[in-house]
Structure 1
Amino acid sequence: MASSQTPNRWVFLGVISCGLLLISADNSILFTALPALRTKLHMSELEGLWVLNAYSLVISGLLLGTGTLGDRIGHRRMFEIGLIIFAGASALAAASPNVAVLIAARALLGMGAAVMMPATLALLRITFVDVQERNVAIAIWGSVATIGAAAGPVLGGFLLEHFYWGSVFVVNIPVALAALIATFILAPANVKHPGSRWDLAASIFAMLTMTGLVLLIKEIAHPGLLWLGILFTILGSIAFWRRNASLPEPLIAMDIFRSRLFSAGVLTALFTMFAHSGVMLVTTQRFQLTEHFSPLQAGMLTGVAAISAFPTSLIGGFILHRIGFLPLISGGLTIMAAGFGLCYLAASNSIFPLFVLGIISAGAGSGFAMSVASTAIVGSAPKQRSGMASAIEEVSYEFGALISVSVFGTLLAAIYTRNSGLEANFAGAIDAPALDSSFVWLLGFAAGSTLIGAATTGWLLRNNPKDTAYAHE
């Protein structure tokens, strides 16, 4: 195990961050690419949402199990395997001849991300054994996830402006290969725990449940397959919990949520990713479709959130031990809600500079909240459940993004259809006033949901803990 004096630990953190940056950017890189993909591959709105969601769906379903698999075969090996799968899936996605292949490639990308993602946090814990250094490292880790999600639309917009649509996937390949080579050189030795169990069935049942939930949300406005979504959700959840309860080492032990700090961290990840991803999605779509922004311009608009999130993410990690979790988590979510409120007022009154200020404010708030959410989750769990805590932490972020795309995408189409009387086909002629009013409504929805998150976490953190107590270690 690396000590706190390992000379290359900060360099290796950069390698881990490259893997995490790939994962988080791929959640949002298609936001600006979606209009181009609709045209090039003749996608319907529903197919477009599945292209976006196939990635997060597979990640969310597999993450609960891949953390345990990493314990079994070694987290370094998992990170390397994940990078290889991610590079291969990126090549397949870039060469996709139709929507079906692209959805399959996005699902394979999700598999690579699910293999890789738990390993990033586990390797971080192995490399940084000093508590204060680890807090800073986790804050940087969390800021990379925030930046990746916010910068994805910028990167996608830039690539689409200069290259063909598949370039948004090709860009992953050199980064993944460079990280793979650096891992061979810098990573600590691979440590296996063959006694750890990996249960594939439980992961499949979890994915079935999430598939049903996504299908239910997407079809609520088109009840044709609504019954199938309900069926998958009910049967999948029953099967998962029965299987989970029968395992000697369950993927989720509900008593871990007795820690208010742990629960607050999970809710922070969910609320932050839900609101952030939703607003980024509808903002990039609205400004491209009604304001005729280029993909790069739309990406740069949402990308200002990354600029403001980066410093607040670092600040949060450095000052956590002084001011505690309450002002950073609940305060961060409140700032985020206020930022979306400014966006709502700006969009209602067509004040573009105020809209930009709102995006900047929301990004700063998300940086504060997300910088310490991971610390709250992983640090408050007992050491013997660190793998479980890491998996739940990562599922929280991915599930928030997954549900966000489903809810915001479905609501955008449904409200647009109600306002315009037209089917939501954004590849054709657009009723701009109807789309604008739908956009304004969703900004208010994002502000309200984030404020609920601030109030809920504020109640859970009312005693304002100032350390995570890696006490369990």
Structure 2
Amino acid sequence: MTHLDNVDSTPAQRWTFLLVISLGLLMVGLDNSILYTALPELRAQLGATDTQALWIINAYALVISGLLLGTGTLGDRIGHRLMFLIGLAIFGAASLAAAFAPGAWFLVAARGFLGLGAATMMPATLALIRLTFSDERERNTAIGVWASVAVVGAALGPVVGGLLLEFFWWGSVFLINVPVVVVALVATIAVAPPNMPNPARRWDALSSFYALLTLGSLVTAIKELSHPGGLLIAAVLLAALGAWLFARRQRRLDDPLLTFDIFRSRIFTGGVLAAGGAMFAVSGLELLTTQRFQMVLGYSPLEAGLLVIAVTLAAFPFSLLGGAVLHRVGFVPLIAGGFGAVAGGVGLATWAGSQGVLPLFVTGLALVGAGAGAIMSVSSTAIIGSAPVRRAGMAAGVESVSYEFGTLLSVAILGSLLPVLYALRARPGVELDGAAYDAAYFLILSIITAVAALFALLSAWCFRGNPRSAGATQ
């Protein structure tokens, strides 16, 4: 596949195509978090249990994480433009199924198919950017826009979900995807560069199955930690078996989904850790905050969504700024400093929330958004820029997995930890003990603060030497 570089296309064509890509990516990001404010309503309407509620959220990220590496290399084989179109079609059909789900487990399955559509689209979006923008600074800016859309989509999900629930039934949070899919399909056919497949590139479905088995078993094990038993043991054993089979399969393939030597690049590994760590913090903070303000303080879904919009408003400009100034200031100030801001923001929100000082709580959320925005744009540049062009699909898959895996772990760990901590503090016979719930909530926020501080140190180590651009790593 060749670049659609500055000789072959005009700036208007390149940036218009980026807008189309961003539409698809916006939907993927929204569906990561749009259920945060809709979850209480979903549980009431579908009679979902705690376990079903977590699977309704996690089925999406789980399928994305498990399939992304495979869809990235499949895109290299059949062409990333075609993959993007296929992903859009699957996403639209799954959205219709989810909107009219008759029960909780049906919705879990529909969310899984939504993940399949998203996993098909996501690597294609980033690989197409790499292949369309050959100029390094232009590409860094485009990746910054890409990361901004991903951040805004994930951060805006609770607001969009709350707004829709203010006027419509719960299925509207999925139905809204359908017109966007139609517009993106038509626009892609009209303005996207020609599909350029590479039939010599092989794709291995068995590797994707092993990856999905590993992650699915890992998530199940995390959810079962609160009540150990046979299922926990089986999940741990299956996760270990899946990981071993996956690694063994990659060593035997001539064209593997993942070559582990790609992680020998400190910058590549640092970018992966940074992307996952940022999403862990943001996803956990948003999920727990929207639930707390609805269930304990009586906020409506829209009010709870508007509360966390502070993350979005701060993330967008700082994500753009990160991509624009990377070549001047380097990775360490933006990524390590970004995690420092996230840790400080969550810490401030923890203190302000426990004292009931809402303006300072919102300020803490904004500080988290600013730090996460800078991290995400720069980590994407580190991952994509430090990988060879011949591994563009693989790097795009790993990059997307890092975001989704961060969300997946956040919901699985923190979502499972909250009811456990709450149960330890709640008074018997009380349906919802607000004081006990708040105690559990603020303890988990303290854990997020510690994780962000740890990632600040890890980032500083990975990016020591401070290369000033992704191009310096190639």
**C-alpha separation between the residues in 2 aligned to 1:25 and 1:245?**
36
**C-alpha separation between the residues in 2 aligned to 1:55 and 1:360?**
26
Say which is worse superposed, 120-129 or 84-93, in terms of deviation: 120-129
Instruction: Give the match for residue 457 of structure 1.
Output: 459
Say which is worse superposed, 457-466 or 100-109, in terms of deviation: 457-466
**C-alpha separation between the residues in 1 aligned to 2:428 and 2:204?**
47
Q: Deviations over 1:77-132 (max 9, x none)?
A: 00000000000000000010001110010000000000111110111122212111
- Letter of the structure 2 residue corresponding to residue 289 of structure 1: M
C-alpha RMSD of matched pairs (Å): 1.2
Aligned with 2:327 (options 302, 321, 324): 321
**Within 5 Å, which residues of 2 pair with 1:24-103?**
24-103=29-108
Aligned with 2:126 (options 121, 125, 131): 121
Instruction: Give the match for residue 237 of structure 2.
Output: 231
Are the structure 2 counterparts of residues 471 and 457 from structure 1 closer, same or farther at C-alpha, using a change threshold of 3 Å? closer
**Within 5 Å, which residues of 2 pair with 1:301-312?**
301-312=307-318
User: Cα distance, 1:471 vs. partner?
Assistant: 6.5
Instruction: Give the match for residue 106 of structure 1.
Output: 111
Confirm whether residue 211 of structure 1 aligns to residue 213 of structure 2: no
Aligned with 1:429 (options 428, 431, 440): 431
- Letter of the structure 2 residue corresponding to residue 19 of structure 1: G
- Letter of the structure 1 residue corresponding to residue 80 of structure 2: H
User: Cα distance, 1:446 vs. partner?
Assistant: 0.7
Deviant stretches of 4+, over 4 Å:
none
**Within 5 Å, which residues of 2 pair with 1:27-426?**
27-224=32-229, 225-420=231-426
SS in 2 for 1:223: coil
User: Cα distance, 1:470 vs. partner?
Assistant: 6.7
**C-alpha separation between the residues in 2 aligned to 1:462 and 1:195?**
38
Contact 1:3–1:127, Cα closer than 8 Å, also in 2: yes
Contact 2:130–2:392, Cα closer than 8 Å, also in 1: no
User: Cα distance, 1:422 vs. partner?
Assistant: 5.5
**C-alpha separation between the residues in 1 aligned to 2:213 and 2:422?**
30
**C-alpha separation between the residues in 2 aligned to 1:360 and 1:422?**
37
User: Cα distance, 1:197 vs. partner?
Assistant: 0.7
**C-alpha separation between the residues in 2 aligned to 1:185 and 1:11?**
11
User: Cα distance, 1:228 vs. partner?
Assistant: 2.1
**C-alpha separation between the residues in 1 aligned to 2:145 and 2:169?**
33
**C-alpha separation between the residues in 1 aligned to 2:96 and 2:243?**
34
SS in 2 for 1:469: helix
Contact 1:262–1:376, Cα closer than 8 Å, also in 2: yes
- Letter of the structure 1 residue corresponding to residue 308 of structure 2: T
**C-alpha separation between the residues in 2 aligned to 1:307 and 1:442?**
24
User: Cα distance, 1:450 vs. partner?
Assistant: 0.5
Contact 1:211–1:232, Cα closer than 8 Å, also in 2: no
For normalisation by structure 1, the TM-score amounts to 0.97
User: Cα distance, 1:33 vs. partner?
Assistant: 0.5
**C-alpha separation between the residues in 2 aligned to 1:374 and 1:37?**
34
SS in 1 for 2:48: coil
User: Cα distance, 1:421 vs. partner?
Assistant: 5.3
- Letter of the structure 2 residue corresponding to residue 432 of structure 1: G
Identity %: 52
SS in 2 for 1:418: helix
Aligned with 1:444 (options 438, 443, 446): 446
- Letter of the structure 1 residue corresponding to residue 444 of structure 2: L
**C-alpha separation between the residues in 2 aligned to 1:205 and 1:422?**
43
**C-alpha separation between the residues in 2 aligned to 1:179 and 1:445?**
40
Say which is worse superposed, 402-411 or 413-422, in terms of deviation: 413-422
SS in 1 for 2:470: coil
**C-alpha separation between the residues in 1 aligned to 2:472 and 2:60?**
33
Contact 2:204–2:256, Cα closer than 8 Å, also in 1: no
**C-alpha separation between the residues in 2 aligned to 1:349 and 1:415?**
20
**C-alpha separation between the residues in 2 aligned to 1:231 and 1:358?**
40
- Letter of the structure 2 residue corresponding to residue 416 of structure 1: Y
Are the structure 2 counterparts of residues 77 and 422 from structure 1 closer, same or farther at C-alpha, using a change threshold of 3 Å? farther
| Structure 2 gap ranges (5+) | none
| Structure 1 gap ranges (5+) | none
**C-alpha separation between the residues in 2 aligned to 1:382 and 1:341?**
39
For normalisation by structure 2, the TM-score amounts to 0.97
Are the structure 2 counterparts of residues 174 and 470 from structure 1 closer, same or farther at C-alpha, using a change threshold of 3 Å? farther
